[in-house]
Amino acid sequence: MRIIICANTAWNLVNFRAGLIQSFHARGMEVIAVAPPHQQHAAQLMRMGCRFEEMPMDNMGTSPFGDLALLMRFRTLFRRTRPDVYLGYTIKPNIYGSIAAKMLGVSVINNIAGLGVAFSRGSKIQGLVEVLYRYALRGSRRVFFQNREDRDDFVRKSIVMPELTELLPGSGVDLQHFMPARAVPSENGADSVFLLVARLLWEKGVGEFAEAARIVRSTKPQARFQLLGFLDVQNPSAVSKAVIEQWVNEGVVEYLGVTDDVRRYLAAADCVVLPSYYREGTPRSLLEAAAMGRPIITTDWTGCRNVVDHDVNGYLCQPRDAGDLANRMSRFMSLSLHERVAMGDASRAKAEHEFDEKYVIKKYLNAIGEV
């Protein structure tokens, strides 16, 4: 069986779909990875055993001519490679890849891994994206969603038929790769390290994180606040390098840059924070933090709330509210060492019971088996 798996970045496939790709190879399936060109990540995909096909796409573009050209590139690719199944991730591969696949009779399985900026409050293009999704998902063999709210929205708006949908626990997490960190939190919670791992977009709550850090450090100056993630310079919602440098110079946050392996940063953190109001699926950074036994503070928001049982393995705060986030951070710092360790243990237990990547892989194999 020949499978095409496509996302809007090769980084997405390397970091979020590696376990799935490896499971396909183990069963003798041929996997063609499709994404915009990126030398390093393309090489990683080929080392996994994939054939890599470049698919240029303007992820933030809204030009109808550009999108029509993308549709034609997908159609040409499918004619040349003749896949049995197409797996689409992210908006443009889900829409234009699915339309092209169905033109040529290729079975399609979609994954709606969050709705992103296009479905953010006040988005001018949401209506158009909904129309395109409605057309693209027509006739898909399965449409996976990563949280119930997104699925219910699509069903309520008749974008997808309910019998085609199924829920996944995010992209899952490899529980053997992300093992509980051995580092023990310090006795004194006042010097806690808070870590935010994300693309540095305003909707990810990066501004609220910096403001909350400023509030907390006014009374607890030993506390440390770290940002880990790349600056998405092509995204209009990106936090600029100048702003990050200003925060660093002010002593509010530490910027750790980017990495292909977050484990040592998660291990060094006392608490992982994601104050997102982005339309997340189920944030992978929080799944990895939970698997490594880290307490979590995140927003009571679509996708984010799935990973935290409030007051058990962390806290939920209000979106766009730096003051509430600061209160949750201060509350965490006031806990005893025993209470903080227990929160981390609860995170690991939740990851084991709800977010094991093996469950996600099984769902995909079942769906492909039906095709």
Tokens of 281: 């699926």
Note whether 152 and 223 are same-domain residues: no
> Is position 178 within any domain?
no
Average of per-residue pLDDT across 316-333: 97
Note whether 78 and 157 are same-domain residues: yes
Note whether 151 and 197 are same-domain residues: no
Least confident segment among 99-103, 124-128, 171-175, 336-340: 124-128
Residue in the block written with tokens 């608490």: 271
Beta strands in the chain (DSSP E): 2-6, 30-35, 51-54, 85-89, 107-112, 142-145, 165-167, 193-197, 224-228, 254-255, 271-274, 296-299, 314-317
Average of per-residue pLDDT across 232-251: 88
pLDDT at 125: 75
Tokens of 216: 């907390």
Nearest to 270 by CA among 202, 320, 220, 344: 344
> Is position 180 within any domain?
no
Provide the percentage of residues in the chain whose pLDDT is more than 70: 95
Note whether 348 and 361 are same-domain residues: no
Average of per-residue pLDDT across 305-326: 97
pLDDT at 84: 97
236-243 long-range contacts, CB within 8 A, separation 24+: 236/60, 237/117, 237/201, 237/202, 237/203, 238/199, 238/200, 238/201, 238/202, 239/200, 239/201, 239/202, 239/206, 239/207
Average of per-residue pLDDT across 264-274: 96
Q: Are 321 and 135 in contact (CB under 8 A)?
A: no
Note whether 343 and 276 are same-domain residues: yes
> Is position 36 within any domain?
yes
> Is position 184 within any domain?
no
pLDDT at 139: 84
Average of per-residue pLDDT across 331-358: 96
Whether residue 281 is predicted with pLDDT greater than 90 in this model: the reply is no
Altogether, the residues listed in the chain come to a count of 371
> Is position 149 within any domain?
yes
Whether residue 309 is predicted with pLDDT greater than 60 in this model: the reply is yes
- The average confidence (pLDDT) of the chain is 92
Whether residue 68 is predicted with pLDDT greater than 70 in this model: the reply is yes
Residue in the block written with tokens 């791992």: 197
Note whether 251 and 206 are same-domain residues: yes
> Is position 177 within any domain?
no
| Structural domain of 278 | 189-354
pLDDT at 1: 93
pLDDT at 237: 85
Whether residue 185 is predicted with pLDDT greater than 80 in this model: the reply is no
State the amino acid at position 147 in one-letter form: N
Q: Are 6 and 36 in contact (CB under 8 A)?
A: no
Q: Are 142 and 363 in contact (CB under 8 A)?
A: no
pLDDT at 51: 96
Whether residue 4 is predicted with pLDDT greater than 70 in this model: the reply is yes
pLDDT at 184: 62
Note whether 254 and 340 are same-domain residues: yes
Least confident segment among 52-61, 100-109, 144-153: 52-61
Whether residue 28 is predicted with pLDDT greater than 90 in this model: the reply is yes
Note whether 364 and 289 are same-domain residues: no
Residue in the block written with tokens 């995170």: 347
> Is position 275 within any domain?
yes
- As for how many domains the chain has, the answer is 2
- 3-state SS assignment for residue 152: helix
Average of per-residue pLDDT across 207-215: 98
Note whether 296 and 316 are same-domain residues: yes
Note whether 193 and 329 are same-domain residues: yes
Q: What is the CATH number of the domain that holds 254?
A: 3.40.50.2000
**358 or 184, which is more confident:** 358
pLDDT at 177: 95
Whether residue 350 is predicted with pLDDT greater than 90 in this model: the reply is yes
Note whether 146 and 199 are same-domain residues: no
Average of per-residue pLDDT across 140-163: 94
> Is position 179 within any domain?
no
Note whether 233 and 127 are same-domain residues: no
Whether residue 121 is predicted with pLDDT greater than 60 in this model: the reply is no
Q: Are 273 and 194 in contact (CB under 8 A)?
A: yes
